[in-house]
Amino acid sequence: MSADRILTAILTRADKGARLLVMTGAAAMVGVVSAQVVMRYVFNGSFDWADEVSRIAFVWTMFLAIPLGIRDGTHVGIDLLVKRFPAHVQQMLARVMSGLAAGMMGVVLWTSVVVAASTWSERLGAIDLTSSVFFFPVILGALHCALHLVHLTLVPAEIQP
């Protein structure tokens, strides 16, 4: 089995897992925030943990959704100049930029691991959880993004005229 097929198989599984976690995180945000609104305006009370849980769900949802956008090519790009080049030049530029972006994701991954390790002993206020929980999705998302970008570097997408 070629490296491209192995990477494609890994990305297919990672995408399915990320999609499931994104849907779960979005549902958790909606559920927790809705429950908090009901508690405040109907019962004149609140959950101490609702703010932190909804923030964690938001961070996880956003950072795990980024690689899915890279896969689909739905992130914002400015291609006014690039679209004027011939298709083979566009494809070469796409490969180079994907490779550079994969390197950047490697830096983000490494830095996130370092920061998560240094903040491991810090605890969140309302729930007894390490504050590094905010860096876990950054680590996973950066790794997942890097894999997609390496895949785009090796097997570029078709250039649309």
Q: Print burial letters for 103-121: b (CB count within 10 Å at least 16), e (below 16).
A: eebbebbeebbeebeeeee
Q: What is the pLDDT along the chain (161 residues), one digit of tens a residue?
A: 677 788 888 999 999 999 999 999 999 999 999 999 999 888 888 888 888 999 999 999 999 999 999 888 877 777 788 888 898 888 898 899 999 999 999 999 999 999 999 999 888 888 888 888 999 999 999 999 999 999 999 886 655 44
Q: In whole angstroms, how far apart are CA 83 and each of 88, 90, 158, 160? A: 11, 7, 13, 9
Number of C-beta neighbours around residue 100 at 10 A: 12
Helix (H, G, I), strand (E, B) or coil at 144: helix
Q: Establish if 127 belongs to a structural domain.
A: yes
Taking the C-alpha atoms of residue 64 and residue 17, their distance in angstroms, rounded to an integer, is 9
Q: Establish if 161 belongs to a structural domain.
A: no
How many folded domains does the chain comprise? 1
Q: Establish if 39 belongs to a structural domain.
A: yes
DSSP for 62-117? HHHHHHHHHHHT-S----TTGGGS-HHHHHHHHHHHHHHHHHHHHHHHHHHHHHHH
Q: Establish if 160 belongs to a structural domain.
A: no
Q: Establish if 159 belongs to a structural domain.
A: no
Q: Establish if 18 belongs to a structural domain.
A: yes
Q: Establish if 97 belongs to a structural domain.
A: yes
Its domain, for residue 135, covers 3-154
- The confidence score (pLDDT) of residue 76 equals 74
